[in-house]
Structure 1
Amino acid sequence: MTDIDPDAGDGFAEQYDEPVASVVRPYTMTAGRTTSQIDVPMEATVELTGAGHDRRWPPHDPSSRIADLCAAERVSVAEIAARTGLALGVTRVLVGDLVTHGYVQLQKTLTDSTSSVERISLIERTLRGLRDL
């Protein structure tokens, strides 16, 4: 049996591959903002731009976690929230900031001309994707 030292510091979580709860309040990540400067639908997919690939991201920063996810594949805002453990509102604000700075781009999936069948199909795909996480 291995002795576990809860005061071991940073190596504890990595050693046991356990997610560590954030002690940072969500509003501090968004400077108290609850909405983004731009419309960020939860079903919109996000892709890292060239500027995002070139940027040197600080470690342990929520924006760097978002950039890492978007570098590998297009992911929806809802998926980003689920995979990072961030609240959806926080994710929307952070993604909006990244779009505004040119590090990611949004591909909106719904428009005014989207049919009911297309909307239902999108919801089903999103639910399947979230279940696969």
Structure 2
Amino acid sequence: MDPLDFPADLEEDEADDLTYAVRPYAVTGGRTRTTTNEPLPVETLVQGLASPDQVGLTPERRKILELTSEQYLSVAELSAHVHLPVGIMRVLVSDLADSGQLRIHGTGSVSATSAPATSLSVLESVLNGISSL
């Protein structure tokens, strides 16, 4: 069965689950890396700068901007909220930051390979956010 040929009696949520079974990498145009080729650490905090009501945004990008418009969220938290793999979320966050719609906090000179987090407070913040899910 083609994943896009849904039975007529299929619930909307079930149809969404089937769509995302084949769709995550289509969201990034097949890309698996950020534009800088440096992956964002999962604890990187993100702040939305643009309105999620802009014309032309994909549903995933709109949701990211909605979630980060009033609070900072980590890449891991966004991944959980939007129901997309962390790798895909890293690409989307990077794209939104490159277009000036999102601000990335806490990456500075710390790379993902040199240190697991920028500070204990960031780890506590991520843990508290994940626990609240």
Instruction: Work out whether the TM-score is over 0.5.
Output: yes
**Matched residue, 1:107:** 105
- Is the CA contact 1:41–1:108 (under 8 Å) kept in the aligned structure 2? no
Greater Rg over alpha carbons, structure: 1
Instruction: State the Cα distance separating 1:45 from its structure 2 match.
Output: 1.1
- Structure 1 gap segments, 5+ residues each: 1-5
What is the total number of aligned residue pairs between the two structures?
A: 118
Gaps of 5+ in 2: 1-6
Tell me the residue number matched to 1:70.
68
Separation (CA, whole Å) in 1 of partners of 2:117 and 2:75: 21
Cα deviation per residue 1:93-118 (whole Å; 9 max; x = unaligned)? 00000000000010116755xx9997
Query: Which 4+ stretches in 1 moved above 6 angstroms?
Result: 115-118
More displaced stretch, 55-64 vs 86-95:
55-64
Give the TM-score, by structure 1 length: 0.71
From the superposition, tell whether residues 22 and 63 of structure 1 become closer, same or farther in structure 2 (CA, over 3 Å). Answer: farther
Amino acid at match of 1:130: I
Q: CA distance change for structure 1 residues 127 and 26 in 2, over 3 Å: closer, same or farther?
A: same
Q: Report the equivalent of 1:46.
A: 46
CA 1:91 to 1:22, structure 2 compared with 1: closer, same or farther past 3 Å? farther
TM-score, normalised via structure 2 length: 0.71
